[in-house]
Structure 1
Amino acid sequence: MGNGFACMTKKDAKEITGTRSNRVGNRSKRKILGDDELLHRQVLSMALHQSQRLEGSMSRRFNGGNTSSRRRPLSDPFSNGKQLAEFLEGLKCRRIVLIHGEGFGAWCWYKTIVLLEEAGLLPTALDLTGSGIDITDTNHVTKLSEYSKPLIDCLQNLPDDEKVILVGHSIGGACVSYAMEQCPEKIAKAIFVCATMVSNGQRPFDVFADEFGSAENFLQQSKCLIHGNGKDKAPTGFMLEKQQMKGLYFHQSSAKDVALAMASMRPIPLGPVMEELSLSPKKYGSCRRFYIQTLDDHALSPDVQEKLIRENPPEGVFKIKGSDHCPFFSKPQSLHKILVEIAQIS
């Protein structure tokens, strides 16, 4: 489905890293992208290693390897196989599509993927255009429609009678909103995880105005802008400095996850985040929306998230205490529990 991968098993990692050169298509491109290829292989190897450790722990817990009588973690809503079977039987939608935020890729969801699969759900993580291991130059991604194309392709390729639950993180929320307007009939629920749940006519960047200032000032004064078409031309993207990124996004995340992110984050295309969204009550408004707040978030403060909720009220609001802007790293169990809870809402 699109450019994503559903779970990083050993086989999947080999397929992802082994087939990318085939996608490039010629020797000159392989030479140009040689350094990126090595970097992505290292990143996927790190993610695979951590995923295997987590998967082993989860397998012991579900397969009877741990006979302790201690209370089960809150993230596990099923105390036995019967409850799991009843949960799955009662679900109308099991497929969950995970959409990353700015600079991230499908790789950031590796913990969430394992947990959702253990719960019997069907997660798919997508790389948006120019993100993750997608080879598109971010300087050439100028519109939200281009940036969101892997998601729209994924939805349009679904069987006629199938819907999905969309989960969008940060600016990925704008892609979810765009998809709700384009393909509302394919979306069972939309979940915004500390995301830009914008209103009609609003730009995704505007949500971050408290941190970065107005879009006009940012474009004139920011030192993290990228001029892919030359210094005398309009900027095409931006990339935060590593220390700034750590403070904004990862201050509650583990050192290993921060290292993974620092090795794999990519520049953010500027056009899509500066584009006003056109959202209609008939299409966008027909989809069920839920919001997950992160209460120790430095990139999108709890106050800003509250403002988004007030201005564009969703059906339900959930909160994760102690989470930075990346709950899939800092609070994966809590995030998983909420995703499962929302999936169960009839």
Structure 2
Amino acid sequence: MSDREVNFLLVHGSCHGAWCWRDLIPELAALGHSAKAIDLPGHGQDTTPVNEQTLDACRDAVLAASHPDTIVVGHSWGGYPISAAAEANPDAMRGLVFLCAIVPVSGLSMADVRKRAPRQLTQSAVVHAPDGLTLTIDPEQAPALFYNDCTDETVAFALKHLGPQTILPQTTPLAITSNFERVPKAYIRCTNDQTIPPEYQVEMTRDWPRDRVHALPTSHSPFFADPAALAALLDQISRDL
């Protein structure tokens, strides 16, 4: 590994999988970095049964793919698994990047923190399974929520791969201590986000150092909307973490 090369671990959000980083990985490689994308339990190619898709299992998937030189990037709900991993073993990573992600509040679940937002932009699009264990996103509303500035090809690719999201890990509280606090962090806000309100992203990072909060003028999916700009920003952040 060269002095400039950084290892990134990419952790997806709700209903997505490792597939969503398709366009970002080559952009990071072009900048001399390596990147690995994982499927959280039950997503993409992972076949973990629904009753085993817990927050702890998501945490362990992150830890299994990370090492002390890794910068872990969590998108959207992915902010919770990466935070749980940092809390469990802060020495297992070099830093965390929250990509338009939910920032944990100690003692609250991801769902609890999301509900604190001033606007609930996805509520009408959520479809709960009859058994109450999973949810999906209405495919007719998904483009406007997730990919409102993406190409038609990208939207078609994403809709083909979107899958169910298990509810349990997102309703499980996470306790945060000094373990999590001591891991270096950065946040990337997306100012045209139609999933997590941009003003809530500002609120969640209000007490963060200003040089650790960045912005991209994209939708909730900057890895599709402008992967080159996202890669350049991650490259910049990697110099500071």
Q: TM-score, normalised by structure 2?
A: 0.91
Contact 1:103-1:266 within 8 A present in 2 as well: yes
1:193 aligned residue: 99
Counterpart of 1:112 in structure 2: which amino acid?
A: L
Tell me how far apart the structure 2 counterparts of residues 279 and 113 of structure 1 sit (CA, whole Å). 30
Name whichever structure is richer in helix by fraction.
1
After superposition, residues 127-138 of structure 1 pair within 5 angstroms as 127-137=39-49
What is the match of residue 206 of structure 1?
A: 112
Q: Secondary structure at the match of 1:197?
A: coil
Aligned-partner Cα distance in 2 for 1:136–1:316: 35
Q: Report the alpha carbon displacement of residue 199 of structure 1 after superposing the two structures with TM.
A: 1.8
**Partner amino acid for 1:105?**
G
Q: TM-score, normalised by structure 1?
A: 0.64
Give the aligned partner of residue 325 of structure 1: 220
- Paired residue for 1:338? 233
> RMSD between aligned alpha carbons?
2.2
153, 157, 161: which one aligns with 1:264: 161
1:285 corresponds to? 181
Aligned-partner SS, 2:102: coil
Alpha carbons 1:101, 1:169 under 8 Å: kept:
yes
Query: 2: CA distance between counterparts of 1:307 and 1:248?
Result: 20
Partners of 1:203 and 1:176 lie apart in 2 by 13
2:231 and 2:154 map into 1 onto residues whose CA distance is 17
Higher RCO (Cα < 8 Å, 6 or more apart): 2
Distance 2:210 2:172 in 1: 22
1:111-147 deviations in Å (ceiling 9; x for gaps): 111011121111111111001111224x324520123
Structure 2 CA distance, aligned partners of 1:186 and 1:130? Answer: 23
Gap change, CA 1:126 and 1:150, over 3 Å in 2: same
Q: By how many angstroms is 1:163 displaced?
A: 2.1
Matched, 1:295 2:206: no
Which whole-Å CA distance do the structure 2 matches of 1:342 and 1:223 have between them? Answer: 33
CA shift at 1:260, angstroms?
1.0
**Alignment partner of 1:124 is 2:36:** yes
Calculate percent identity across the aligned residue pairs.
Answer: 25
**1:143 equivalent in structure 2:** 54
State the Cα deviation string for residues 231-269 of structure 1 (Å, max 9, x = none).
xxxx11111111222221111111111111111111011
The answer on 1:304 being equivalent to 2:200 is yes
- Which residue of structure 2 aligns with residue 164 of structure 1? 70
- Which residue does 1:106 correspond to in 2? 18
2:145 aligned to 237, 245, 248, which one? 248
Give 1:225's aligned residue. Answer: 128
3-state SS in 1 of match to 2:141: helix
Q: Which runs of 5+ in 1 are unaligned?
A: 1-84, 229-234
Structure 2: 5+ residue stretches without partners:
none
For residues 62-73 of structure 1, the aligned pairs below 5 Å read none
Offset of residue 301 of structure 1: 1.1
CA distance in 1, matches of 2:155, 2:134: 22
State the SS of the aligned residue for 1:341. Answer: helix
Q: Which shows bigger deviation, 259-268 or 140-149?
A: 140-149
Q: How many residues are paired up?
A: 238
> 1:96 touches 1:124 (CA, 8 Å); kept in 2?
yes
1:249–1:326: 8 Å Cα contact kept in structure 2? yes
Cα 1:247/1:266, change in 2 over 3 Å: same
Residue 79 (structure 2) pairs with residue 173 (structure 1) = yes
> If each structure's strand is expressed as a fraction of its own residues, which one has the higher value?
2
Q: Take 1:222 and 1:237, find their aligned partners in 2: how far apart are those partners?
A: 14
Q: 1:197 to 1:313 in 2, by over 3 A?
A: farther
Structure showing greater Rg: 1
Native 8 Å contact 1:199 1:311 kept in 2: no
Offset, 1:212:
6.0
AA partner of residue 127 (structure 1): D
Structure 2: distance between partners of 1:202 and 1:331: 32
Answer yes or no: is the 8 Å Cα contact 2:12–2:78 preserved in 1: yes
